[in-house]
Amino acid sequence: MGVDIGTSGTRAVLFDASGYEVAVSRQEYPLLCPQQGWMELDPEVIFHAVITTVSRCISLSGIPKDQIRGLGISCLMHSLMAVSRDGRPITRLITWADHRSMEEAEFIGKSYPVQQLYEKTGCRVHHPFYPISKILWFKKHQPELVRATSRWMTIKDYILFKWFGEPITDYTLASAQGFFNIHTRDWDEDILKEVLGIKRGTLCPVASCLHALKGMKREYAHAMGLPDDITVSIGSGDGVMANLGCGVFDDTAMSSTIGTSGALRTTVTRPVTPEGQPLWCYAFTDDRWVAGGAINNGGVVLKWFRDNFQVQFEKEAEAFGGKIYRLFDSYAEEVPPGSQGLIFLPYLAGERNPDWNARATGVMWGLTYAHTRKHLVRAAMEGILFRLFAVYEILEKYLAPRHKIRAGGGYAQSRIWLSMQADLFGRRIEVPKVTEASALGAAFLAMAAAGAVDRLDKMLPAMKAQAVIEPNPENHSLYGEIYKKATALYERTKNMALEKEEGEHAEE
C-alpha cells in the first residue's frame, strides 16, 4: 500500500505486485490561511485522514489484511511543524506555500554566503519556501514556542512518530529543509549553529528512504485494518516518490508532475549545484540525488477556479458525472491554442523555480468581451505549463539531455493538458499506466522493504507507458511565440507587487 499525503488531501492506494491499483481512497482537507501569506494544515486532521483512507481502502479492496505485505508513505515536501516534549503538535503544519518568513529569508540572503550554503544543501535558502527561514520566524515572533519545542518535524515524521514512538526522517525530506548537507547526508552543524542557533537534538535522526520500521502500535494497526506485524517503509517526499512511481530512477528520463504544485525532476549520480542557484538538488539514496525545479502554482490554480465558481460549474459538470475537472478539460478542448490572445500568469502563491520570486502575483492579460470562462480555464492550464517550460529550459541547460519525459500527478489524467505540454515542449510525453505515481513510489519502497523487489531501477508493468502524446509542429511554433510574450509580460509586471507592498508599508 502507498499513502500519499498532499497539500489538499490524502490518498491511500493498494497495489498488486505488478503495480496495478486494486483499490483507492481519497479524503480532502482545507488549506488554512489565517493571515496574509500564511498557509497551514492541521496535523491532526491529516493524521485522521491517513487512518480513514487506509481503513477505507482496505475495506473497498476486500483483501484480507494478512495479505497486505507492506506500507510506504509519500508526503508533501518543505513542510514544518513543532512538537512538544509529550509528542503533541504546538503549531499547525507550515506548508511550502507559506510566505510569512519573507523578511527572515531576505535576512539570510543579506547576511550569509548563500552560494556556499546552496552548494552544501542544494537549496536556495534565502527564499521563504524553505523551512530554514520559518524557524527563524518562530524564533523572532514566538520565542516561547521555540523554547517549548522538543522536535521540528515534517508531517510524515509526525505520523511515523505516533505510529512507532520513534523520531525518524529520510534524506530527501531532510534535504528539503535547507539545513541538511547533501554531501555528508547529515544535518549541517555549521548551519544549525551559525544560522539557526538550534541543536541537533531538536531534529529527527535521518535514514535512507529504504529504511523500514516494524512494531506499529496496535491501536493504529487495528484502526486501519492492518496486520500487527506490517512492514512500513519510511518513504520520502511526494516529488521523488512520483519519480520512482513513473519509473524514473536513472539519468535517461525526466518526470513531469502537476498536482497541487508542479515540477520536473531527474535522478543524478552526483550533486548538481550550479552558480546562481537555478535548480534544487536533494539527496535520495546512498548513491543517488534528485535534481529539478518546481513551480508553486499547479493544479491548485484550477482548484481555485473550482472552489470560487463552483455554483456556475456544477450544472454543466453533471454531464461529466459531477467531475468539474473533466468539465475543465472539455472547456480547454473547445478553445484554440493560445486562448485567443488571453495570457494568464498563475502566480497565486508567488513562485519558485526558476525566478524564485515570492512576491509575484497573478495576472490575466488580454481579456476582452470575446473571452468566456472556457478561455479562462484554458489560459490557466497554458500559464501553468509556461512556468513548467521555464524550468525545463533550466534543466536542459545544466544537465545532459534526457531521452524521455514521463508524466505523473493529477494532470496525467487529462489528455488535453498533456497535448498542450507536448506541443509547448516539442517533446513526446509518455504516460505510465499508473495514475497515482507518488503512491506507487511509496508502495514500491514498501515492496523493497518486504523483499518483493530487489532493486529500485526495476520497472513494474504498471510503470510502463500506456500512451505516448506526440507534439503538433504547428502548435509548437505557435506556443513558442506565446511563451515569449508571457515571459515578457512577467518581466514587465514582476516588480509591481513589490512596489504595491512598499506603498502599503509607507501608508502604515
Cα end-to-end span (Å), the chain: 53
Provide the Cα torsion 363, 368, 372, 378; round to 10°: -40
Let me know if the fold of 2-246 is the same as that of 296-433+472-507.
Answer: yes
Please name every residue paired with 293 in a beta bridge, in sequence order, or none if there are none.
Answer: 264
pLDDT reported for residue 498: 60
Q: Which residues of the chain have pLDDT under 70?
A: 497-508
Share the mean pLDDT of the chain: 93
Q: How far is CA 275 from CA 116, 139, 279, 280, in A?
A: 10, 30, 10, 12
| Residue located via cell numbers 523493497 | 448
Supply 162's cell numbers: 505516533
pLDDT reported for residue 204: 98
Q: Which CATH class is domain 296-433+472-507?
A: alpha beta
pLDDT reported for residue 503: 55
Domain ranges in the chain are 2-246, 296-433+472-507
Q: How far is CA 327 from CA 324, 370, 384, 413, in A?
A: 5, 20, 18, 13
pLDDT reported for residue 308: 85
Buried b (16+ CB within 10 A) or exposed e, 334-355: ebebbbeebbbbbbbbbbbbbb
Contacts of 404 (CB under 8 A, 6+ apart): 248, 252, 253, 254, 430
pLDDT reported for residue 507: 53
Please name every residue paired with 26 in a beta bridge, in sequence order, or none if there are none.
Answer: 11
pLDDT reported for residue 265: 94
pLDDT reported for residue 351: 86
> What is the model's pTM?
0.88
The 10s digit of each residue's pLDDT in 264-286 is: 999 999 999 999 999 999 999 99
The domain 2-246 having CATH identifier 3.30.420.40: the answer here is: yes
Please name every residue paired with 253 in a beta bridge, in sequence order, or none if there are none.
Answer: 404
Buried b (16+ CB within 10 A) or exposed e, 27-46: bebebeeeeeeebbbbbeeb
8-state DSSP, 194? I
For 387, the 3-state DSSP assignment is helix
Cα distance between residue 136 and residue 149, in whole Å: 14
8-state DSSP, 322? T
Provide the Cα torsion 150, 152, 155, 158; round to 10°: -30
